[in-house]
Amino acid sequence: MAEELIKVTIDGQEFEVEKGRPLIDVINEKGFGVPSFCYYADLELQASCRMCLVRIEKMPKLQASCVIRCTDGMEVTTKSEEIEKAQRAMGEFLLANHPLDCPVCDRGGECELQEVIFDWGDVEERFDEPKNAHPEKFLSPIVANDQQRCILCKRCTRVCHEWMGEDAIEAGNRGSNTVIGTYGGWLNCSQCGNCIEVCPTGTLLDGVYRHETRPWELDQTITTCTYCSDGCQLSVGSRADEVHRIVARDRYVNGINGEFLCIKGRFAHGFVNHGDRIKTPLIRYKKGGKLIPSTWDDAIAFAAERIKESKKAGVVATSRLTNETVHTLKRFADECRDGTSYAVSDTYDLAPFFENLSAPLCTHKEIRFAETIVVIGGDVDEEQPLTAKQIRQAVRNGGANLILVNDTPSRLSHQASQFIHVNPGTVEAFVLALADPSAADMAAAKMGIGRAEIDKARETANATKGDLIIMFGKELGAEAQAVAANLPSRHENRNVKLHPLAGYCNSVGASDMMPGRKPVADVVAGSDALLIAGSLSDEEFAAADLASKPFVAVQELFLTDTAAAADVVFPAASFAESDGTYTNNDGFVQRVRRAIDPVHQAKPDWMITSLLASELGADFGYSFSASAVFRSIAESHEAYEGLRYPDLKDETRPVRVKHKLVSGADVSGAVASLRDRVSQFPDAADKITEEPRVGHKLHRVTTMTGKTPQFHLLANGNPKPDDLLVSPLFQFNPDGSPKKEEESEVAAG
């Protein structure tokens, strides 16, 4: 953004700054530092804590620097006796109702209020009136609430409204009785926990981590989230080889997501240290026999022997694995046995997209400042929460146009400037209408919308001067993906960027690592010895009939259906126990770091594969270090050429993959087959008008999220307990039914 530069004097030093920036940002950036609670970058202004007071020449009173915009010739004083006196007085007011129970507060040690009061406060309290007291209670299974610690900065209500679009938490009552809460005292929202993250005090607390350790006892390890494809940077708090909590609090980590995380990233870490983890390698010596615990040497030797005996081997990777693992699996397929086929199990295959990519991928920052965003299909709110937040802020704070094409209404569709509500399963037709205007009438009819809607969307896109971002979800088949990837080349004068709403944390990376892959079903059907890293999806598993295969080896964390059907099971290390990289849907390669040692006898996935390979006589040239694997990646994949592992160190400056752009590719074949497909859609259908419940996908109990007990309650309707002071886990069974009295006594005792 080219902005006019003006001169501002702060404490006698002159600075050139962009006109209209918030003064508080400039003061902090230039290293003067002013305390604040309610100010939060990129949220609506509140100016209620009055801590960021400064003296500005020619203004009658001290001013709150968060609501002052820089103007030319402004002379600011940040430090003087007058200001300190005012700030100390404000600190005293904030503490008037605060219980000062830091020794028993989970936030103690990383609390902004504590820090500012230690720095600025006059700790001597003069208020001897009774304080308002509220009991500690639960707002939901994972949000604990201690109302009396609140200083009413309203960061939580603002993030809930502006980031999540939910308005689930608000300030009720008035004056000194004001409390943060909800109607009925129970939170029925997506449970993202961002209110916990931004809270500068111990008012809103992590119910999963509640009273586990003190924050300063935790080792903070910066790593990448293992759930969706947004690739949020997070900080794993671990102690004594146990993961206790995950935060994005920006004093520990400051990646693409700032302090934003969703429920899965923040709370679903219970699987790492769960008792159901596979502890040792397992071997089934005879078909129909049991899986028997074994040693690594035996298991590797056994698996290598059986793979050697087989006629044709196959490798299946999953898109939750690191780039290092998928690359090693690819090398395993290429170098160990001739003719080994390989596949990636994912919600959808991104190959047609990257083969026809005609514009760069967009970053999350670009989404925030885009002018027009077109979202075709997908369920951004539930599947890519960071992308949804960026879209929401772009619309709300940046005035972006949002064109949403979907068959189901969602939270985001309320904010769309144009919500194109199509017949179920017909979003592909919209891609066709954009690519081939002559088919627009037919496409409109199949989608059950008027032609005018398509023209209006096209006009909005054509009138866009800034960034135009096109996102698409898994509804798009191979032809539609190819056509969508080619769309930007039809708009050469415009800044068009693409954003695939990929399924898993490394969908993009896995797609990069395994060019020339086959569909999972083909690989499974065509091989008599299989190496599967991770688990097949339910549909793939049902179709595969693994029990009938002569030999199947699986690398997994848990004994899933796939692992239970295997002949050899290797215990794999989770994302918190291994080093590596994930590539997110921005094209950023981000580090995954080892926070704790692998539990039991687990080993990182790529290490297992390379052990097996060396038993089969192939030497990959690496055995212990993820950086060596990454070097091999940089040597063998064009898009990763020139990337170096040490360059990926800083999460504030993520490094991008250079995906090859194809301009002017001929996609007429794809358009023609897409037209055929669309013409076979039914002519009339009932539209889905009911908006699914918030969290219908986020709260789903899966192999990983299901290991955090709170998810079971959320998935089962998030029942409100009679007693809000006791954790709901003590009051409900996992299926959401109330526990009988004697049971709950046992559980509590």
Partner 1 sequence: MATVATDYTNKVKVTDEVAEFPESVVEEMRSHLTKYPKDRSRSALIPLLFVIQRERGYIDNPGVNFLAQFLNLEVTDIWETATFYSMFNMHPVGKYHIQMCKTLSCKILGEPELTDHICSKLGIKPGETTKDGKFTVTRVECLGSCGTAPMMQIGFEYHENLTKEKLDDLIDSLE
* Site for partner 1, rule CB under 8 A: 130-135, 137, 166-174, 177, 179, 181-186, 188, 414, 720, 724
For the CB of residue 135, give the shortest distance to partner 1 in the complex, in Å.
8
Indicate the length of the chain as a whole number.
749
For the CB of residue 389, give the shortest distance to partner 1 in the complex, in Å.
17
740's CB contacts (< 8 A; 6+ apart) are none
CB closer to partner 1 out of 6 and 102: 102
For the CB of residue 694, give the shortest distance to partner 1 in the complex, in Å.
11
Query: Quick one: which H or E segment has residue 372?
Result: strand 372-376
For the CB of residue 651, give the shortest distance to partner 1 in the complex, in Å.
34
CA–CA gap between residue 68 and residue 537 (Å, rounded) = 54
Contact criterion met (CB below 8 Å) for 581 and 630: yes
For the CB of residue 134, give the shortest distance to partner 1 in the complex, in Å.
6
Distances (CA, A) of 486 to 221, 427, 495: 40, 17, 14
For the CB of residue 97, give the shortest distance to partner 1 in the complex, in Å.
10
For the CB of residue 187, give the shortest distance to partner 1 in the complex, in Å.
9
Strand 580-583 to 568-571 pairing? unpaired
- The first and second tokens of residue 590, run together, are 């981000």
HEC string for 575-610 = CCCCCEEEECCCCEEEEECCCCCCCCCCECHHHHHH
| Amino acid present at 638 | E
Kindly provide the residue ranges of all beta strands, DSSP E only, lying in 390-433, ordered along the sequence: 401-406, 418-421
CB closer to partner 1 out of 182 and 560: 182
For the CB of residue 408, give the shortest distance to partner 1 in the complex, in Å.
18
For the CB of residue 171, give the shortest distance to partner 1 in the complex, in Å.
6
Got the DSSP string for 11-65? TTEEEEEETT-BHHHHHHHTT-----SS--TTS-----S--SEEEETT-SS-EET
For the CB of residue 488, give the shortest distance to partner 1 in the complex, in Å.
34
Strand 529-533 to 551-556 pairing? parallel
CA–CA gap between residue 372 and residue 488 (Å, rounded) = 14
CB closer to partner 1 out of 654 and 721: 721
Name the strands in the sheet holding 292-293, side by side, starting at the edge strand that comes first in the sequence.
292-293, 282-283, 568-571, 551-556, 529-533, 313-318, 341-345
CA–CA gap between residue 468 and residue 484 (Å, rounded) = 13
CB closer to partner 1 out of 178 and 632: 178
Q: What number of other Cβ atoms are within 10 A of residue 611's Cβ?
A: 19
CB closer to partner 1 out of 134 and 656: 134
CB closer to partner 1 out of 173 and 493: 173
Q: Report CA Rg, the chain.
A: 28
Contact criterion met (CB below 8 Å) for 269 and 706: no
CB closer to partner 1 out of 311 and 414: 414
For the CB of residue 724, give the shortest distance to partner 1 in the complex, in Å.
6
CB closer to partner 1 out of 131 and 700: 131
CB closer to partner 1 out of 688 and 724: 724
For the CB of residue 179, give the shortest distance to partner 1 in the complex, in Å.
7
CA–CA gap between residue 717 and residue 699 (Å, rounded) = 10
Name the strands in the sheet holding 233-239, side by side, starting at the edge strand that comes first in the sequence.
219-224, 233-239, 242-247
For the CB of residue 149, give the shortest distance to partner 1 in the complex, in Å.
13
Distances (CA, A) of 708 to 176, 259, 274, 660, 705: 37, 22, 9, 40, 6
- The first and second tokens of residue 659, run together, are 């995906």
Distances (CA, A) of 509 to 58, 321, 359, 666: 57, 9, 18, 26
CB closer to partner 1 out of 135 and 450: 135
For the CB of residue 647, give the shortest distance to partner 1 in the complex, in Å.
45
Query: Quick one: which H or E segment has residue 349?
Result: none
CB closer to partner 1 out of 184 and 642: 184
Contact criterion met (CB below 8 Å) for 270 and 708: yes
143's CB contacts (< 8 A; 6+ apart) are 187, 191, 193, 195, 196, 204, 205, 206, 207
For the CB of residue 549, give the shortest distance to partner 1 in the complex, in Å.
49
CB closer to partner 1 out of 189 and 256: 189
CB closer to partner 1 out of 183 and 216: 183
CB closer to partner 1 out of 189 and 442: 189
CA–CA gap between residue 164 and residue 188 (Å, rounded) = 13
175's CB contacts (< 8 A; 6+ apart) are none
CB closer to partner 1 out of 184 and 749: 184
- The first and second tokens of residue 465, run together, are 């001067």
Strand 588-592 to 580-583 pairing? antiparallel
